[in-house]
Amino acid sequence: MPSAPALPHPVHPSHDPGTPEAVAVDPALVKRAVKAAALGNAMEWFDFGVYSYIAVTLGKVFFPSGNPTAQLLSTFGAFAAAFLVRPLGGLVFGPLGDRVGRQKVLAVTMIMMAAGTFAIGLIPSYATIGVGAPLLLLAARLVQGFSTGGEYAGASTFIAEYAPDKKRGFLGSWLEFGTLAGYIAGAGLVTLMTALLSTDDLVSWGWRIPFLIAGPMGAIGLYLRLRLEETPAFAAETEKAESSRRKVPLREMITGQWRALLLCVGLVLVFNVTDYMLLSYMPSYLTSELKYDETHGLLVVLGVMALMMVVQPFAGALSDRVGRRPVIAAGCAGFLLLSVPALLLIRQGSLFAIALGMGALGLLLVCFTAAMPSALPALFPTRVRYGSLSVGFNVSVSLFGGTTPLVVTALIGATGNMMMPAYYMMAAAVVGGVAVWFMTESAGRPLPGSPPQR
């Protein structure tokens, strides 16, 4: 993909003659910040992996209609409900994070996420309390979705504002490392339980175990987050404008940042469409559309995620050396050129061909998972970073990312064309490519509105 015309680098306050020298951040504090932020993301995707892999069992527990398809649809309906409240959570937690601080808000989202997941494990079955059971499940999912609305933007902002300018890509990449680790842990635990427990035991009590594990995980994450200090960027901003920063108008967060918001939506679109396509939809595609063995399909996806985890930190470090734009552009170009060949390999049906096609898509996805956590926060100034990123990220995820499986399934049903997943990823890559063309390179530079950090 060709480079954009040279654009002037935006003037940061740190470039003014009167600003202080670069801030030196304690490496031990940086490590703690990365661990605390990544653990929250791991918790979110642990729940995602558990819920996706145990959906059939949850359908029997909470929606005993006697129709397996209706049970599964009802279960995923409760799952999808969380996406509807994500933008609302972003509108609440984002501005709050810009007003009272990142650390405080991230502690609250951690508590809510852990509580929502843990509560699912305590809900009585439909056989015990009737319609109250699915209603309680829905309520727990809404709590999870609401808290998630403030989690990713806050966690990526937190790491970005703690990281030295020259290591922001590497350190930010550990956020998505946590995503992959959480998903593998959740899906792997359910797979293991399915192998060890009988169907009756899984339905009667076994399904609760993965959700109850969220309690101790949340306590550990909360402990790590409460031990953190506020980010240097936020502390400097507070000191600079103590009287005016207590309220950040919604107009300043949205209309005042419209160009950056459009870029954010475009970048998040290609990031999440490809992410949900590969990690959420492809197992169903292999089973329902290609009639491939379900267990083998799930194991292939887990293997691809393990491969991505290995490559993730190296790709993040690469984005520090060559820039965010080239890495993200390479991912967009790769999906545009290789989506059709990769899907043709997957459709060939042999285990080797499926693994090769999925592995290729997984490595392309790493271009986004490694670079986005550092690229997205750099779109916005410190004063509105948490709030604006929360709005842009969650709107894009809710409209495009979370709907990917549903839209692609509908497109295949309407056209009968089994190559629709490839075409959908290619369309997303075009949108992402346009966003990359207009974004400013941020690697090695201070965040807008923040002093340099080393």
Highest averaged pLDDT of the listed ranges 25-29, 196-200, 400-404? 196-200
398: nearest Cα among 139, 91, 173, 185:
91
Report yes or no: 72 and 144 within 8 Å, Cβ to Cβ: no
Percentage of residues in the chain having pLDDT higher than 90:
31
Q: Can you give the pLDDT at residue 8?
A: 36
Whole-angstrom distance, CA of residue 130 vs CA of residue 124: 9
pLDDT (average), residues 7-14: 38
Whole-angstrom distance, CA of residue 79 vs CA of residue 277: 16
Query: What is the pLDDT confidence band of residue 327, given thresholds at 50, 70 and 90?
Result: very high
Between 3-17, 215-229, 290-304, 359-373, the lowest mean confidence (pLDDT) is in 3-17
Q: In the predicted model, is pLDDT for residue 6 greater than 70?
A: no
Report yes or no: 164 and 454 within 8 Å, Cβ to Cβ: yes
Report yes or no: 437 and 4 within 8 Å, Cβ to Cβ: yes
Phi, psi at residue 145, to the nearest 5°?
Answer: -65, -40
Q: Can you give the pLDDT at residue 51?
A: 75
Q: Can you give the pLDDT at residue 247?
A: 61
pLDDT (average), residues 103-114: 87
Percentage of residues in the chain having pLDDT higher than 70:
87
Between 51-65, 112-126, 352-366, the lowest mean confidence (pLDDT) is in 51-65
pLDDT (average), residues 343-365: 91
**Intra-chain end-to-end CA distance of the chain, in Å:** 31
What is the helix, strand, coil percentage profile of the chain, to 5? 80, 0, 20
Q: Can you give the pLDDT at residue 242?
A: 57
Read off the amino acid at residue 379. L
Structure tokens belonging to residue 9? 């680098």
Of 454 and 357, the structure prediction assigns the larger pLDDT to: 357
Say how many CA atoms lie within 13 Å of 14 toward its Cβ: 20
Read off the pLDDT of residues 260-314 as tens digits, 9 standing for 90 and up.
999 999 999 999 999 988 887 887 777 766 777 666 777 888 899 999 999 999 9
Q: Where are the alpha helices (DSSP H) in 324-403?
A: 324-348, 351-375, 385-396
Query: What is the pLDDT confidence band of residue 438, given thresholds at 50, 70 and 90?
Result: very high
Q: Can you give the pLDDT at residue 67?
A: 61
Read off the pLDDT of residues 40-95 as tens digits, 9 standing for 90 and up.
788 878 887 787 777 778 878 887 766 666 665 666 676 677 778 888 988 899 88
Q: In the predicted model, is pLDDT for residue 322 greater than 50?
A: yes
Q: Can you give the pLDDT at residue 15?
A: 43
Calculate the average pLDDT of the chain: 83
Report yes or no: 254 and 91 within 8 Å, Cβ to Cβ: no
Q: Can you give the pLDDT at residue 45?
A: 80
Q: Can you give the pLDDT at residue 132?
A: 86
Q: Can you give the pLDDT at residue 202?
A: 86
Q: Can you give the pLDDT at residue 2?
A: 41
392: nearest Cα among 371, 372, 366:
372
Query: What is the pLDDT confidence band of residue 364, given thresholds at 50, 70 and 90?
Result: very high
Structure tokens belonging to residue 284? 């169903």
Between 234-243, 245-254, 256-265, 430-439, the lowest mean confidence (pLDDT) is in 245-254
Q: In the predicted model, is pLDDT for residue 160 greater than 80?
A: yes
β-sheet bridge partners, residue 23: 453
| Apex 328 CA angle, 322 and 334, nearest 5 | 115
Between 4-13, 123-132, 195-204, 352-361, the lowest mean confidence (pLDDT) is in 4-13
Of 324 and 83, the structure prediction assigns the larger pLDDT to: 324
Identify the CATH homologous superfamily for domain 24-228+240-438.
MFS general substrate transporter like domains (1.20.1250.20)
What is the residue extent of each domain of the chain?
A: 24-228+240-438
For the four alpha carbons of 154, 435, 371 and 380, in that order, the dihedral sign comes to: negative
Q: Can you give the pLDDT at residue 14?
A: 40
Query: What is the pLDDT confidence band of residue 317, given thresholds at 50, 70 and 90?
Result: very high
Phi, psi at residue 447, to the nearest 5°?
Answer: -65, 145
pLDDT (average), residues 123-139: 86
Report yes or no: 72 and 56 within 8 Å, Cβ to Cβ: yes
Structure tokens belonging to residue 101? 């601080």
Read off the pLDDT of residues 180-206 as tens digits, 9 standing for 90 and up.
998 888 888 888 888 888 888 888 898
Q: In the predicted model, is pLDDT for residue 324 greater than 90?
A: yes
Tokens 């470039």 map to which residue?
15
Q: In the predicted model, is pLDDT for residue 173 greater than 90?
A: yes
Whole-angstrom distance, CA of residue 440 vs CA of residue 68: 50
Structure tokens belonging to residue 308? 């991505």
Q: Can you give the pLDDT at residue 223?
A: 83
Q: Can you give the pLDDT at residue 3?
A: 44
